[in-house]
Structure 1
Amino acid sequence: MHAGLSPSSYRRLVGRLLYLTSTRPDLSFAIQQLNQFLDKPTSVHQQAANHVLRYIKSYPANGLFFPAESSLSLKAFSDSDWVGCSDTRKSITGSCVFLGSSLISWRAKKQSIVSRSSFEAEYRALASTTCEIQWIHYLL
C-alpha cells in the first residue's frame, strides 16, 4: 500500500467514482476494475484511480445527452470478452440499451461461471441483455 493512502480513503474515492457512472458510462469498466480491490488496494490501484481522475478532468463535458425529439424505440447491443478476467478466467459481459438515440442502460459485468467457448460467453451476454430489455419494456 502507498504510504499516504489508507484502504478507507481508497474506498471513499472509488465510491465517489462509482457515483459518477450514472452519468458517465465511459468510466464504468475502469471503475469496476478498481472496485475489485477495495479490501487490499496497492499503490498500482491508487495510480489507476488517479489516472481516472485525470481523465475526468481532461474531459469534463463527456456524459449522457437526452434530446427532446427522439423515437421511443428500444435498441440494444451486447458483447462478451471470452476469458476477459485473467485471474478467474471468467468472461466479461457488456451491454447497452438505447431508447431512441438516448443511452438509458449499460452494464459491464463479470459472468458468474467460466464459459467453455466464446460462443457460450456471447450467448450468456445475449441472454442477460434480453432480460434487461424485457424489464425495461415492462417498465415503459
Structure 2
Amino acid sequence: MRFTSTPRGARLARRLISLRLNEWGHPYTSPVNETVTLITAELAANAVRHGRVPGRDFHLRLAETDRVLRVEVTDTRAERLPAPEAPYPDGESGRGLLLVAALAHDWGVAPRPAAPGKTVWAEVGLPAPLGAA
C-alpha cells in the first residue's frame, strides 16, 4: 500500500492497518490489533517526519505468516536509523523506536532493494490458537 508522506498519509496507514487486522480476525480491541496498530503509527510517523523526500510516498506492507505479523514501512531516504536511546525526560519526541523495540518481538532496518531508501520492519508474535498444545 502506498501513502503520501504527510501526517494525513500516516494517519490513513494506521487506520487501514487496524481495519485490515480486524478483517483478518484480530478485532479492534484485541491486544494484537492495538499493538500492531501502535507500531504502524510510530513507523509511519517516522517515515513522514524523518524519511520524507518531497514528492515521494512511503509504502506499507502487512503480512501474516507462521504465527507472526510483520509490518514494513519503506521510505526513500537512505540514511540509517540511529539506535533507540532514552529521550530527555522533558522531551516531546524521541520515544517512537523505544516503543517499537518494547512492543515488537523483533525489528530492524534493511536497505530498500533496487532503489534509494530503507525499510523499517517489526514483527509481533501471535498467540497460539485456543486448544493448541
Is TM > 0.5 for Structure 1 vs Structure 2?
no
TM-score by length of 1: 0.30
Higher strand share: 2
TM-score by length of 2: 0.31
Structure with bigger gyration radius = 1
Higher relative contact order (CA 8 A, sep 6+): 2
